[in-house]
Amino acid sequence: MRFKMQYKRKICKFCENKEVPVDYKNSSTLKRFLTEEGKILPRRITGTCASHQRQVVTAIKRARNIALIAYSADVKNV
Amino acid sequence: MRNYECLFIANPNIEGDGMSSVVEKVTAYVKEAGAEVANIQHWGKRRLAYQIEKQQYGNYVLMYINGEAPKIVDLQRSFELDSTILAYLTIRLDEMPEFDKVFIPEDDGEEDRRGGRSRYEGSRGKYGSSAPTGPEGKAPVKDVVLEEDEEDDVEMDVDVDADADVDLVEIEDEDESVAENDDDTEELKSDAKIDTESDALDDDNSDDDSDDDSDDDIESEKK
Ligand SMILES: [Zn+2]
């Protein structure tokens, strides 16, 4: 059972739903691509395709810059 | 002319006219930079993801600007010099969006709940992250799977967000059940009280008194 799950191909969220643009303002969507600490999750975990992952990365960095997303979880609680 | 999107954060503790004066000032900056404001949108006061200049909240304003690249640098400099502006972000766009349909993120009320959820997620996520550490890491992972049953399968199958929802539901269920149990026990207790109270009120007092007395007596006898 778990073997099946491990090899199941993940589909890129943004390819799946093309109406949602990769936008730094959409912080709630971008948070799905972050770890608890606020690190960017790798493509192999989220299943994002290469081109969309590049867009996600720039969007996350922009959102961090303008304080929509924290750089790290610790900073937020200080 | 090129299209720019500019999002800036103004200090929320501005005296006087407040945001309208700030917006006037910024539009003046834009004009000085030889550009024009195509559209302006106020997001209002929002919680910042991290403190900027010791502020936890900020007034977000989104502007769409038509301008020339060398002049936009001047605009950025005037943002930099203005102490009421905590942060700014200017981005070149290929096309102007439809201003009505521009995405405005949810307000910060969501923020705290999400933080709590992600913390819970993280504690589970660490099991997951220990999984691909090679052959040695497999044994403990199996144990985890046994403990958590089908939940782990869900974690493998569904992406992070869906998993978070599942977790949320579980938490809510637990809370509710606990709450219900509490209510039941309270009811039981109250019933018991009603039964005993009428009989026992006077008796209890008298018993206590008598016990105390007897103790005292014993002590006094010992003395
Ligand atoms: Zn994609």
The predicted complex's ipTM stands at 0.80
Backbone dihedral angles phi then psi of residue A67, each to the nearest 5 degrees: 65, 25
Cβ-based neighbours of B26, under 8 Å, separated by 6 or more: B8, B61, B63, B79, B85
Interface contact B101, partner A, CB < 8 A: no
Average pLDDT over residues B213-221: 43
Which chain A residue is nearest to residue B104, measuring alpha carbons?
A25
Binary contact (A31, B9; C-beta < 8 A)? no
Q: Whole domain around residue A20: which residue ranges?
A: 16-65
Say how many Å lie between the CA of residue B147 and the centre of ligand 1: 35
Residue B94 has what pLDDT?
92
Ion ligand 1, residue ranges at CB < 5 A: A 12, 14-15, 49, 52
- Per the structure, the count of domains in chain A is 1
In chain B, where are the structural domains located? 2-116, 134-222
Q: Which residue has the higher pLDDT, B192 or B74?
A: B74
What's CA A13's distance to the chain center, in Å?
A: 10
Assigned domain for A37 exists: yes
CA–CA separation, B57 vs B205, rounded Å?
59
What are the pLDDT digits (tens) for B114-167? 443 333 333 333 333 333 333 433 333 333 333 334 443 443 443 444 444 444
CA–CA separation, A53 vs A40, rounded Å?
10
Please determine, for residue A35, whether its predicted confidence score (pLDDT) is greater than 60. yes
Cβ(A34)–Cβ(A40) under 8 Å? yes
CATH number of A20's domain:
4.10.640.10
Assigned domain for A71 exists: no
Assigned domain for A31 exists: yes
Cβ(A45)–Cβ(B160) under 8 Å? yes
Please determine, for residue A50, whether its predicted confidence score (pLDDT) is greater than 90. yes
For B140, the 3-state DSSP assignment is: helix
- Provide the whole-model pTM: 0.59
Percentage of chain B lying above the pLDDT 90 cut: 32
Cβ-based neighbours of B2, under 8 Å, separated by 6 or more: B66, B67, B68, B69, B92
Partners of B106 on chain A (C-beta within 8 Å) are: 28
Please determine, for residue B81, whether its predicted confidence score (pLDDT) is greater than 50. yes
Structure tokens of A43? 């493509």
CA–CA separation, B43 vs B39, rounded Å?
13
Interface contact A43, partner B, CB < 8 A: no
Identify the CATH class of B2-116: alpha beta
Cβ(B99)–Cβ(B62) under 8 Å? no
Assigned domain for A78 exists: no
For A11, the 3-state DSSP assignment is: coil
Partners of A6 on chain B (C-beta within 8 Å) are: 156
